Amino acid sequence: MYYYKNSTDTVPILLLLLFSLTITLHFQAKTVALPSSSCPKHCGDVEILYPFGIGPGCAMEGFELSCNKTKDGRSVLMFFGEIPVLNILLLNGQVRIMKHISTMYSLSSRQVDYDYWGQDLFGTPFTYSGKSNMFTVVGINTLAYITDDTYVLGCVSHSPTYNNVTAQDGLCTGVGCCRVALTRDMSNDYVFFDSRYNTTNNYTNGSNKKHTDYQGYAVIMETTAFHFKTTYLNTTTFLDENDDGRVPVILNWAVGNETCNDSMKKADSYACLSNNSMCIDSSNGHGYLCNCTKGYHGNPYLRDGCQDIDECVVNVPPPCPGHCVNTIGSFWCPNEKPASSSHSGSTVLVVGPSIGVVILVIAITCTYLIRERKKLANIKQKYFQQHGGMLLLQEIRSKQGTDFSIFTEAELIEATGKFDNKNILGRGGHRTVYKGTLKDGSLIAVKRCISMTSEQQKEFGKEMLILSQINHKNIVKLLGCCLEVEVPMLVYEFIPNGTLFHFIHGDNGCHNITLSTRLHIALESAHALAYLHSWASPPILHGDVKSSNILLDENYAAKVSDFGASILAPTDESQFVTLVQGTCGYLDPEYMQMCQLTDKSDVYSFGIVLLELLTGKKAFNLEGPDNEKSLSQRFLCALKEGRLMDIIDNCIKIDSDTGLLEEIAELARQCLEMVGEMRPAMRDVAEKLDRLSKVMQHPWEPAQHNLEEMESLLGESSVASLDMISTGNFSMKKRIVQGLLESGR
């Protein structure tokens, strides 16, 4: 009798043998270019592992490295020709590099300047690992954040005596140092400092003499490589003790941009060349990695790179001392000393199983499938109860008028075509939205989130019930949810005409959008936010107002959507947001500093949307000059210098009333006040936009309009005033109109 590793699971062993035979025959037909024996194997003390390589024909596309000499004569392996490589973690799909620290410092004149270091990895096989790195900020009263497309993450490092808490070595908890975990892999690491938040200039006595007064540092770095020291706060030690001001960071990498199933169909580009290798889809959804199958080790990207492991030698002590026999990919332990008949017996067991073994395999398989199905049902029930499903069902039954459904996972899988990529409507930092069709033919939008914290899970059922009761024509209707999965899925009504962002900034731009249409969209969006703030019970803070979260239906009516960052209005000042979330260009500066989301944060973000409609420009443009990256700063500067018309969209500036444009711009300015208390409430913004819309529908020329219509809109005395000055100049009429608007008529 013989004993194999994992001998209790007979079915996987037999299936593995058949699978290995199939894969072996499949791989033997592949012809993929491989590095020659002359390619360098080391640079300094770093081993170079294919698909990485130095020189022509020595690396896969995108994995080329170089070996450079330093001033002291050392050989250093370089990434992109300038970034040192510490080591390559082949089977983990990672590479450890040394990254520059970004620095904010003040000159002798106390003016703030910056040393920014970043690397754009978009279009390469590499991303900053979200699991292995953290964004770290060091300094006194230092606010820093990073952006990656529409993803923003940051934190504030307070003074060493903040709230009577003193900075301590080894503790990075917000006093002198703060750290934020990356919630996903990132392609960019653009670092930004807020110089207005920093109030210290007391950084001296360091050996690094490039700058004398350092104020703060920010960098993405390997989580386990950082240990905070209080000396970082008043010296340049943080730069001095790291090689050339660099710290370790982990990059994830993957081969190609297709899944394993798609890549295996292309013999000329499939990278898992070894006969005993297997393909693993990348965790971030793009590309794949190769690994050796169980019982083998080595480099799966090279032909014959995966070699047999001698378990009898590697394992100490051996699995069966004195009797262990190594086999290709495994080992066996006979009850007695090996005999010549043993090999023939093992061959019979593997190659020609008896009818009894076949029956046993079928029985085990059926038992396994039944057990797994029952286990899956128990898991679904566990998730359903964990997300408050029973409470939600009771509430729905008690309120017969609630138009809200609880969907099964199978229903949503069928509706979205197994979440097919061709049905993706949009992606975000934490979710993907799919288009779906129910059995009755109705269209839906399914939001599938990546993760949810335990605290969010506790409040999920309550918040779903509140959102299900929102019934406003300018808010996307929540039709239901799916609770029998690890992370609940939300089901919304389908809105056909896409986002306001694409409507303004799409291929055709906003050249065909009249001021009347823009004002109407702004008014409907403001009505929706005012409803959330003032009439929902309890009030709801959206938290991520932006043009890409405003949808347009078949009649181009505005529908506010995406409540992934929303919260119920805090009941007291102790309820703070621990992590600032939002989109670069729309974030309230006060929210960034105080870490407290309020209704005035939504007002600020809406002001940016109003500017997009008014100017036709994006809220944040990384490719523009420094003074034009932020739309809000560009607008406020133009307004201050009396150049408002320079920034207004040309296609509405020509045919529109200058006074009306100035009124809209003034409303946007009020929404963008730095202090939240000075901003108007959303209901006031909606009322002002409503009055401006009426002004646009009824131009202030009495000769062109019916007197009864004017009296109905403004009142008899107001119309009489207009009649008296019908021959006056525009500025006089503008002042009267402005007075009428301010009086609320």
Residues marked active site are found at 544
Name the nearest CA neighbour of 568 among 458, 650, 649. 458
CB contact set of 686 (below 8 Å; sequence gap of 6+):
523, 526, 527, 529, 530
Burial degree of 253 (CB within 10 A; 0-12, 13-18, 19+): buried
What one-character-per-residue DSSP string does 331-357 give? EE--SSS--HHHHHHHHHHHHS--HHH
Decide: 119 and 99 in contact? Cβ < 8 Å.
yes
The 8-class DSSP code of residue 136 comes to: E
Distances (CA, A) of 189 to 87, 147, 345, 444: 21, 6, 60, 35
CA distance 312 to 325: 7
10 Å Cβ neighbour count for 72?
Answer: 5
The 8-class DSSP code of residue 534 comes to: I
Residue type, 730: F
CB contact set of 300 (below 8 Å; sequence gap of 6+):
272, 273, 274, 276, 277, 278, 290, 291, 292, 306
Decide: 192 and 152 in contact? Cβ < 8 Å.
no
Distances (CA, A) of 168 to 31, 171, 173, 238: 59, 6, 10, 15
Give me the long-range contacts of 198-204 (CB less than 8 A, separation at least 24): 198/104, 198/112, 198/139, 198/140, 198/141, 198/142, 198/143, 199/140, 199/141, 200/139, 200/140, 200/141, 200/159, 201/106, 201/110, 202/140, 202/234, 203/105, 203/233, 203/234, 203/235, 203/236, 204/234, 204/235
Q: Residue 321: is the preceding peptide bond cis (ω within 30°)?
A: no
How is residue 244 written in tokens? 């050339």
| CA angle (472 as vertex; 471, 474 as ends), nearest 5 | 145
Give me the long-range contacts of 416-420 (CB less than 8 A, separation at least 24): 416/446, 419/448
What one-character-per-residue DSSP string does 693-707 give? HHHHHS-S-GGGS-H
Q: Which three-class secondary structure state does DSSP give residue 256?
A: coil
The 8-class DSSP code of residue 163 comes to: G
CA distance 688 to 530: 12
